[in-house]
Structure 1
Amino acid sequence: MDEIATKCAGLQLSEKEESEVDLMPPVTETGHVLVGRFCMKRRVSLESVARVVRSFWRTAKNFEVCDLGENKVLFQFEDENDLDRVLLLSPWAFDKYLVLLHKLNAGEAVNKVQFNQTSFWVQIHGLPTMSQTREAGIRIGSILGKVEKVDVDEKGFCLAGYVRIRVTIDISQPLCRGRMVRIGGASPKWVDFRYERLPIFCYWCGKVNHDERDYTQWLRSKESLRAEDKQFGAWLRASQDRL
């Protein structure tokens, strides 16, 4: 659309074309809308989507489903609490492939939605027990993206086997498998990230917006890349449980 507008900028407009149309602002009270994109190559069936998400989401009130094409779907909710709950419990998967969801704001166009972020619960393994704090979760998790929440007690500690954080990540980038941390003056040590409800992702490049069969280098190599070069597959086998 921007390209069309640019091309039209040099045109001489007629009186009809130049006249403005004044529209009323969107009615936000009824705009409880999510836009979803399915990270899979094959085309999804709207009937299958509607059936599966209704069984998963179990909303208190009804919602409508509309096919936007290109594996994008619009969900319009009667109750905003249902919409917020669906977002809160994300990420969701369809046939084990990630479903990206975006809450449509008033005045926002569907074709402008980027679909480049989603939230995950991530477990941080390998920290000493007394270092499993809210501050540690925020500082370590900041390498992944925006930390939304750290699952700790009222004193800011987590005395379980790991620290759990909820973080918004950029899905156009590879999954981060962990990071080196230094506690005081001690030698740095590796802490491992384990993603809860991890969907199908690419074992070659570590991105969750496609699977290994759609990896560009794999296709260009005519499927000649070595299986041992799947570093993210090795990481998953070594340290990541699908939860």
Structure 2
Amino acid sequence: MKLSDAEKKEIKIGRRNTNLAGSEKPQAIGKLMSDRPAPKEALESTLGRIWSPFKGVECKNLGMNRFLFSFRDEAGKLKALNDRPWTFNKRLLVVEDFDPAKTLNEYEFKKIPIWVRLHGIPMGSMYRESGEAIGKEIGEVLDVDVDECGMAAGEFMRVKVRLDITKPLMRGISIFLEDDEEERQDKEMTGEEKNNEQKGKEILFTYEHLPDFCYICGVIGHNDRGCPNKQNLGVGHEFGSWLKAEDWGRRPSEEDRSRNSRDKWGFGKNSTGGNRGSDAITWRKNSFDGEGVGVSGKREEKEATSPLNKQANEEEVESGGKKFLLEGIPSERIV
């Protein structure tokens, strides 16, 4: 389109320091990756109980499954932006920080926070810098699950990244171990050992709470049926369910299910919040008994990245005469 001289005239406008609708509250904008319109009342009620259980959130429908969320505290907004991938009715909800300088169509809705497990790292190399170096190849590093000394131990390391869902999932990466200079000078390697050192080690990735993705192209947001490359269905898939990390949440007891059944959104009346600075899994940092009680005698809250099983995380709720399946309900802990 070619503008006329009259249309090219520039008009200066200002911008208020407040957020939308004159609100001083922290705000974020989200998009539900679904062809079906979602009721904003259900989103407001459900996500309010997850992101800010005691204060809730306000939700405004912006059209095309885009919503403006207003929070009554900064902690709720940070949880929505950085905690984990969120889903509603088995559809991914992408949340971005509100930017008053952007038009609605300038929001890309293409990045989500997610914990990635790094399998195959030698235990002597499980420290924060290693996690950050590998995490940068996956996305923007948000956190690394290490102890007070900056080290980790176990079968894998965990790093939280902001992942670009428009790109294929990374399945792994190769690393090369650097020996200390003195050890390298004293070490006499055979030809086979030199060859193995040159090849390096393969580090495999699995993703916690990974949303639905395509097994053909590895992109989040559509499945095999909707893949633009589905003509390659006859070719062996390079992606699969093995990229989804196993959940560690304990199976809820009869008491848990009874308590949750009194709340149609899946939350018991005894929900409480923690005040930890990280939502990393606490299995390495705390001791637990069989019922999830710490050595201090206080019940440890489950982290957002380790929800209970499907019965406790998916509930059919009714809104406007329709039923919706709610997912992504984390534990009672607040970040």
Scaled by the length of structure 1, the TM-score of the pair is: 0.81
Q: How far apart, in 2, do the equivalents of 1:56 and 1:78 lie?
A: 14
Structure 1 gap ranges (5+): 1-5
Partners of 1:58 and 1:212 in 2: CA distance? 35
Mark the CA change 1:94 to 1:193 in structure 2 (over 3 Å): closer, same or farther. same
Q: 1:241 aligns with which of 219, 237, 245?
A: 245
Q: Select the residue among 52, 62, 66 that pairs with 2:46.
A: 52
Q: Does 1:176 align with 2:167?
A: no
1:111 aligned onto 2:111 = no
Query: Within the alignment, does 1:194 sit opposite 2:189 as a pair?
Result: no
Count residues with an aligned counterpart: 226
Name 2:17's counterpart in structure 1: 26
Amino acid at match of 2:239: F
Contact 2:117 2:245 in 1 (8 A): no
Could you tell me how far apart the structure 2 residues matched to 1:21 and 1:170 are?
35
For 1:125, which of 119, 126, 142 is the aligned residue? 119
Give percent identity, aligned residues only.
Answer: 29
Match of 1:216 in 2: 228
- Are the structure 2 counterparts of residues 59 and 49 from structure 1 closer, same or farther at C-alpha, using a change threshold of 3 Å? same
Question: Which of 201, 211, 236 is the matching residue for 1:229?
Answer: 236
Mapped to 2, the partners of 1:127 and 1:188 lie a distance apart of 11
Which of 72, 75, 78 in structure 2 is aligned with 1:78? 72
- Alignment partner of 2:221: what SS? coil
Confirm or deny: 8 A CA contact 1:35 1:110 kept in the other structure.
Answer: no
Letter matched to residue 241 of structure 1: A
Cα deviation, residue 21, structure 1: 6.0
Q: Specify the code of the residue in structure 2 equivalent to 1:7.
A: K
What is the TM-score with the length of structure 2 in the denominator?
Answer: 0.61
- Select the structure that is richer in helix: 1
Matched-pair contact (CA < 8 Å) for 2:217–2:229: no
Which sits farther off after the overlay, 128-137 or 55-64?
55-64
2:215 aligned with 1:203, yes or no?
A: yes
The DSSP-based 3-state class of the residue aligned with 2:77 is helix
Distance 1:51 1:211 in 2: 29
* Shift, 1:144, TM fit: 0.7
Aligned residue number for residue 64 of structure 1: 58
Distance 2:104 2:10 in 1: 26
- TM-superposed CA distance for 1:50, in Å, is 2.9
Deviations 1:13-62 (A, max 9, x none): 5xxx9584644523157152111111233333334333432343343323
Letter in 2 for 1:69: G
Give the secondary-structure state (helix, strand or coil) at the position aligned to 1:192: strand
Are residues 125 and 132 of structure 1, via their aligned partners in 2, closer, same or farther at CA, if it must alter by over 3 Å?
same
CA offsets per residue over residues 68-104 of structure 1, 9 Å max, x none? 2222111122222221222232221122332110010
The 1-side partners of 2:54 and 2:48 are apart by 11
Letter in 2 for 1:191: I
The answer to whether structure 1 residue 7 and structure 2 residue 19 are counterparts is no
Structure showing the higher strand proportion among its residues: 1
| Per-residue deviation, residues 178-212 of structure 1 (Å, max 9, x unmatched) | 11112137241211111111111111111112222
Root mean square deviation of aligned Cα: 2.5
Structure 2: segments with no counterpart, 5+ residues: 179-193, 248-335
* Aligned mates of 1:128, 1:44 — CA distance in 2: 46
C-alpha contact (below 8 Å) 1:198/1:242 kept by paired residues = no
